[in-house]
Amino acid sequence: MAAISVLQIFNAEEIAKNANASFDVNLERMNAEGFFSLQITLTGTGTAKGEYLVSNNKVNWVEPTGASDIFDGFTVASGPGTDGKDIFSFEPELSAHLRIKITEADVNPIVVSAWLAVQ
């Protein structure tokens, strides 16, 4: 079984209303086997949406046909403890590079911390 790599991709990142932030990950260096999860902690009064894009050349980023959002409609009252904390598994298409994009999808700012786990 391959090791699990964890990378903090957002550390109290402030995202203004209707804005987004993204983080690019070089999967070639992570020896990924295809298992991914994203842990998120959200504060603020906005609503977050998480999605991914993929690329094999780090120039052209693509939202693959049939891709699903990692999460949508996430607020400080979301998650199993209704405290703005949760973890989501997702299955990106095979690629050399992965971009995680968090968007404030409402009208109020958010603050996001997130960790990506890859196996």
Which residue segments constitute the domains of the chain, with CATH numbers given? 13-118 (2.60.120)
Given CA atoms 112, 12, 77, 104 in this order, what sign does their dihedral have? Answer: negative
Asked if pLDDT for residue 2 goes beyond 80, the answer is no
Categorise residue 79: left if φ over 0, alpha if ψ from -120 to 50, beta otherwise: left
Categorise residue 105: left if φ over 0, alpha if ψ from -120 to 50, beta otherwise: alpha
Categorise residue 56: left if φ over 0, alpha if ψ from -120 to 50, beta otherwise: alpha
Q: What is the pLDDT of residue 1?
A: 60
Pairwise CA distance, residues 22 & 69, whole Å = 14
pLDDT tens, residue by residue, 8-65: 999 999 999 999 999 999 998 877 778 999 999 999 999 999 999 999 999 999 999 9
pLDDT tens, residue by residue, 69-115: 999 999 999 999 999 999 999 999 999 999 999 999 988 999 999 99
